[in-house]
């Protein structure tokens, strides 16, 4: 009789433990928080926007609405070229409390606007992706396209950077970060360059499936 009572108590404890584990697995609020590093220039940083309106803020909100416990770290710096991004990547990663589950790399627009050699931008992005690869951090590479008023040869070289590097490093590619927003005045701030709150919402809506797929695979 004593043995059966003890056995019954053990069985009850196991049932309760299994139920608790099931609850933890099923509830996004109780699941481990994932970290997304948004590493880019002003398009990531969001000049003129509130924290909840910029790209990292809206992306985090969208992921959480879909039940994913994700924190998006804003590592965008206005004016950054690929060289400047490459130079600060190490200390950005060192300053994080955890290793990112995903890095969204969005750089290159300032190289293009300044007419810097595409080969230089490619080399810097290559180094950034290599460093993230060494640290086993998955990458979603956000592509940029050269302005259509630039020399055709320059445009071809610049536009080819992102798909080539995505293939080389096995990274996910989002072909054009500003898709659906570029040249749409209703989506752009008065400076004529950066997306407004509505524009960021469009960007987030388009890139969201790519981010979710990368996190789910992770």
Active site residues: 42, 191, 194
Residue 195 DSSP one-character state? B
Q: Write the Ramachandran bin of 191: left for phi over 0, alpha for psi from -120 to 50, otherwise beta.
A: alpha
CB atoms within 10 A of CB 6: 10
CA distances from 202 to 13, 76, 111, 166, 178 (A): 49, 19, 24, 23, 9
Coarse DSSP helix, strand, coil percentages of the chain, rounded to the nearest 5 percent:
55, 15, 35
Q: How far is CA 186 from CA 59, 165, 193, in A?
A: 20, 32, 12
Of 139, 191, 148, the closest CA to residue 168 belongs to 139
**Cα–Cα dist 175/179, whole Å:** 8
Name the helix (H) or strand (E) containing 5. Answer: helix 2-26
């Amino acid at each position: 009789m004593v043995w059966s009572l003890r056995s019954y108590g053990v069985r009850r404890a196991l049932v309760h433990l299994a139920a608790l584990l099931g609850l933890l697995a099923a509830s996004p609020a109780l699941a481990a928080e994932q970290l997304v590093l948004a590493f880019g220039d002003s398009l990531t940083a969001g000049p003129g926007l509130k924290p909840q309106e910029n790209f990292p803020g809206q992306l985090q909100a969208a992921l959480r609405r879909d039940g994913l416990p994700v924190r998006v770290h804003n590592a965008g710096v206005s004016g950054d070229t690929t060289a400047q991004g490459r130079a600060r990547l190490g200390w950005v990663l060192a300053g994080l409390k955890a290793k990112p589950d995903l890095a969204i790399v969005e750089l290159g627009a300032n190289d293009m606007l300044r007419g810097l050699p595409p080969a230089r931008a490619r080399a810097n992005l290559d180094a950034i992706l290599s460093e993230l690869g060494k640290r086993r951090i998955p990458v979603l590479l956000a592509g940029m396209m050269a302005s259509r008023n630039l020399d055709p040869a320059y445009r071809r070289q610049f536009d080819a950077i992102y798909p080539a590097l995505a293939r080389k490093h096995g990274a996910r590619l989002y072909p054009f970060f500003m898709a659906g927003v570029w040249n749409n005045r209703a989506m752009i701030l008065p400076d004529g360059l950066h997306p407004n709150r509505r524009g960021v919402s469009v960007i987030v809506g388009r890139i969201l499936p790519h981010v979710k797929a990368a996190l789910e695979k992770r």
